[in-house]
Chains A and B, each alone.
Chain A
Amino acid sequence: MAIIVTPDTRVLVQGITGEFGARHTKLSLDYGSKIVAGVTPGKGGQFFEHGVHRVPIFNTVAEAVAATGATASAVFVPPPFAADAILEGVDAGLDLCVAITEGIPIRDMIEVKRAMAGRKTRLIGPNCPGIVTPGAGKDSAGGCRIGIAPGYIHKKGHVGVVSRSGTLTYEAVFQLTSKNIGQTTSVGIGGDPVNGTSHLDVVKMFNDDPETWGIIMIGEIGGNAEVEAARWVKANCKKPVAGFIAGATAPAGRRMGHAGAVVGGAEDTAAAKIAVFQECGIECAVTPSDMADALIRAAARTGTKLA
């Protein structure tokens, strides 16, 4: 079992006819993911065609869910309309909503998060690369890819990866795959200060997943989400965990690309987070080139297999 999504997960794409949404829907179809519906208000009844695939488009998420049994969505809707799109998915009773959109106003996300309290939908993102559960085929084809991550760098296996940053996630996954170590699921939770799923949420799921044998947790400056997850790992997680924190050289008060990556106080610097990781028994990667090796070191300490 992977976490959150499996190769059988039925996925709909909100914003499937936009350039960005269309491009990545094609890549997900090529990867073998079950993209069963698209939603673009006003284009219901049309089809999204790609090779042998003919994906029906609906006006609303509720219609798409009723007609196709989709349980997860990828949101590629532009920032001004993204909060609306997420809540439409929540109201339609989806299990999972993955918001790829970058640049959603923070106030919108504060309202979305409040409106989602007590609802069953899990939100991943926004401003994230999405989620990949690799498949068993060539270059991990046949898996579930929701979002914009390159599917082919993955390999089906037993390491869980969670990260706020897209390209840094790919870097970690690629290092693992190059060393012949596969992944159960790789989750990009996004770089915004208000997001749906935290490091801790994902780490707990990896801990509960018997197929996940080791975890790489990648964080960055700003906020205390990584610290929260690290303290939980110390108290509850027996699996080897490696960590990396980006932004050691970032100046205070400057936003480093991600809306969430700002050093505000003493607790959210890279140095403070790395110190907590070490205190919690998480093997820290010395450089970003060292992420897979750090996990190998952590696994060796406990004699855990990774592949």
Chain B
Amino acid sequence: MNIHEYQAKALFEKFGVAVPKGVPARTPSEFEGAIKQLPAGAVIVKSQIHAGGRGKGTFTDGFKGGVKFAQTPADALDYANRMFGNTLVTAQTGPAGRKVQTIYFAQATDITKEYYLAILLDRVTSRPVIVASTEGGVEIEKVAHDSPEKIFKIVIDPAVGLMGYQARELAFKLGLTGDYFKNAVKLITALYTMFWKTDASMVEVNPLITTPGGQVLALDAKVSFDDNALFRHPELTALRDLNEEDPKEIEASKFNLSYIALDGNIACLVNGAGLAMSTMDIIKHYGGSPANFLDVGGGASKDQVQAAFKIILTDPNVKGIMVNIFGGIMDCNTIATGVVAAARELGLTIPLVVRLEGNNVAAGKRTLAESGLTIHSADTMADAAQKIVKLVA
């Protein structure tokens, strides 16, 4: 689960990670009051959406920049009014963009130098790793590619957590001294505590900045949490912003279906994540384009299959459906019954190809054949993919 920058910054403050003072506003009537809470001086006006590249983004009405520097409160108010309710398109949002529904006003700070700091899982060691760089404010992937010697990594032993010497080593490697050094050690330590205690899957501060006054501050904040751990963090679950999620994905999650919308026209309904991914792949391989990833899970019921069909069909791009079920334990006839019921109930008019294999497959195929509906049966994944691609073309 991702959260907004303003929510992440509030968490940062709670854990003692220093940030520039900032105030969020969710309606235009709150803008002036929010700006007044900041110290006098310039203000940064920041659109709150779950996507990076906001500063370089463009709104659909042509207004440029989802993050603006405002010299005066009047400018800040003007920028906020232009951003609010407007749709911001960035390199990460896709062409549809995201509607801005919260504005974050932050005190503008003088910057001595920009750094990069992140904490995430290191899959090789199965331990948390802190990644830092002297090159901040730019794409870290580019730094890793062009100058890997400027990236420093510290792997944490989960039995003891982040040790003092490790935080010091990182601060030294970043070339920090005096107050900067002390403040950086404090910030890194606090950030790690937050990462661990909140079950974060990633925290990223880009840039982390030093100020002429000796401060070290998190100027931006990107935080995501491990969905599997949200059950023990109700206070974090409350930060979920459904406006940032695809309504079809929200609906799917209610039925324990794992659904991700894509931009093709062949919908798929599959059991198992690996099989679902490779069903998308095989559609592409035969020249089609998948409209979604949809995993109904290992023990799909008739109700789940019907819900899955409904969700698939709310996507107006869908021109055909491929069902691919390997019913190891699950009864293929249960799936077939669900497919027939859904097709009937929804008055399905687009082509449907079903590939069933496994437990009780003969009965399942019979149910499909005797339904009186136009359901194309396939024996293998390849056969099914070729059929649906041809039918949709």
User: Residues on A close to B: CB < 8 A?
Assistant: 24, 27, 79-80, 103-111, 113-115, 148-150, 153, 163-171, 174, 191, 193-194, 218, 220-225, 244, 246-251, 253-254, 256-261, 265-266, 270, 286-290
Contact = CB atoms under 8 A, between A and B. Distances in A.
21 contacts: A24-B329, A79-B231, A104-B228, A107-B199, A107-B226, A114-B126, A149-B328, A167-B271, A167-B298, A246-B274, A246-B277, A247-B281, A248-B284, A250-B277, A253-B92, A257-B272, A258-B273, A258-B274, A260-B123, A261-B274, A287-B281
Contacts of A106: 121, 199, 201, 226, 228-229
A297 to B, nearest CB: 16
B326 interface: yes
B232 interface: yes
Contact of B280 (A164, A249, A260): A249
B281 A257 contact: no
Given A220-B274, A224-B124, A174 B357 contact: yes
B359 interface: yes
B358 interface: yes
Given A110-B121, A248-B281, 12 more contacts: A108-B229, A111-B158, A165-B274, A166-B272, A166-B298, A171-B275, A247-B281, A248-B284, A257-B276, A261-B273, A287-B278, A290-B382
B390 interface: no
A288 B121 CA distance: 30
Nearest to A244: B278
A115 B160 CA distance: 12
A247 B281 CA distance: 6
Contacts of B232: 80, 105
Contact of B326 (A113, A170, A249, A258): A170
A194 B326 CA distance: 26
Interface range for B: 35 or more
Nearest to B330: A150
A289 B381 contact: yes
A164 B13 CA distance: 39
A256 B273 contact: yes
Interface in B217-244: 226-229, 231-232
Contacts of B383: 289
B127 A114 contact: yes
Contacts of A286: 285
B127 A251 contact: no
B124 A105 contact: no
B329 A27 contact: yes
A105 B298 CA distance: 20
A164 B272 CA distance: 11
A171 B326 contact: yes
Contacts of A290: 382
Residue among A169, A220, A266, A287 with the most chain B CB within 10 A? A287
A104 B293 CA distance: 22
B58 to A, nearest CB: 21
A150 B228 CA distance: 26
Contacts of B295: 257
Contact of A254 (B260, B279, B298): B260
What 4 A-B pairs are tightest by C-beta distance, nearest first?
A: A165-B274, A257-B273, A167-B272, A150-B328
B123 A194 contact: yes
Contacts of B346: none
Contacts of B226: 105-107, 259
A3 B158 CA distance: 31
Contacts of A169: 274
B380 interface: yes
Contact of B275 (A111, A193, A248, A288): A288
A117 to B, nearest CB: 9
Interface in B34-52: none
B126 A109 contact: yes
Contacts of A171: 275, 326, 381
Interface in B334-391: 357-359, 380-383, 385
A171 B275 CA distance: 8
A167 B231 contact: no
B57 interface: no
B258 A257 contact: yes
B257 to A, nearest CB: 10
Contacts of B123: 193-194, 222-225, 260
B381 to A, nearest CB: 5
Contact of B127 (A110, A248, A256): A110
A216 to B, nearest CB: 13
A104 B92 CA distance: 29
A287 B285 contact: yes
B326 A80 contact: no
B282 interface: yes
Nearest to A194: B126
A167 B260 contact: no
Given A110-B126, A166-B298, A257-B293, A153 B358 contact: yes
Contacts of A254: 260, 293
A174 B231 CA distance: 37
Interface in B278-316: 278-285, 290, 293, 295, 298
Contacts of B298: 148, 166-167
Contact of A105 (B229, B260, B357): B229
B22 interface: no
B128 interface: yes
Contacts of B329: 24, 27, 148, 150
B274 A166 contact: yes
Contacts of B282: 287-289
Nearest to B283: A249
A91 B171 CA distance: 39
A221 B278 CA distance: 11
Contacts of A250: 277, 280, 293
Residue among A110, A165, A288 with the most chain B CB within 10 A? A288
Contacts of A251: 260, 262
B121 A164 contact: no
Contact of B231 (A80, A246, A256, A257): A80
